[in-house]
Amino acid sequence: MDDNNNKPGWATNLFNQLQRLEQKIDNMSLVLVITTNRQNRSFNSTSPRNVPPSLLLKDTEGCGNFPGLRHAPTLNPIAEIGSTPNIEINSFNDNLTNNQLSYLSRFYNNNFGIDATTTIEHKRILFYNWIEHPN
C-alpha cells in the first residue's frame, strides 16, 4: 500500500499513467485544432470575397472583454477549445456589427488587433485579416 493515500502502488501507477495519457490526448487535440485553423486560413486567403469564410476553431482558453469592443457578460458556458462560434457570416463582404465583433472577440478570447480608437470599418478589416492570416 502507498502510505500517502492508502492505495496500492499499482493503483497509483495506473492513475499516473492515465493522467499522462489524458495530457497527451489534450496535446493532440490542440495540434488538430491548430492544423485545422491553418487549413481554414489558407482556404480563406484564396477564396473569392463573395463566399462564406471558414470560421476558425477556438484555440485559446477563456472569454475576454477588450478595449474598443462592447463589454458584455461572459459567454455562458465559455466555449470549449475546438468549437466554432454560433454566428453566420455569409461572405467576406458582410458588414459585421460591433455586437457581432464583440461576440467573436469574447468567443475566441482575441481582440484581433482592435483597440479603443479603431473604427467599425477597420474592426471588420482586422477580423477578416485574422481569419485569413496567422498572427
Give the model's pLDDT for residue 5: 65
Residue 1 lies in a domain: no
Give the model's pLDDT for residue 69: 80
Task: Report how many domains make up the chain.
Answer: 1
**3-class secondary-structure state, position 56:** coil
Residue 78 lies in a domain: yes
The answer on pLDDT for 72 being more than 80 is no
Q: Is pLDDT larger for residue 92 or for residue 75?
A: 92
Distance CA 56, CA 107 (A): 11
Residue 56 lies in a domain: yes
Residue 104 lies in a domain: yes
Distance CA 106, CA 68 (A): 12
Residue 82 lies in a domain: yes
Distance CA 108, CA 85 (A): 8
pLDDT by residue (tens digit) across 11-41?
Answer: 888 888 889 888 888 878 888 898 999 999 9
The answer on pLDDT for 125 being more than 80 is yes
Domain extent at residue 128 = 9-132
Residue 2 lies in a domain: no
User: Contact at 8 Å (CB) between 60 and 108?
Assistant: yes
Residue 3 lies in a domain: no
Residue 118 lies in a domain: yes
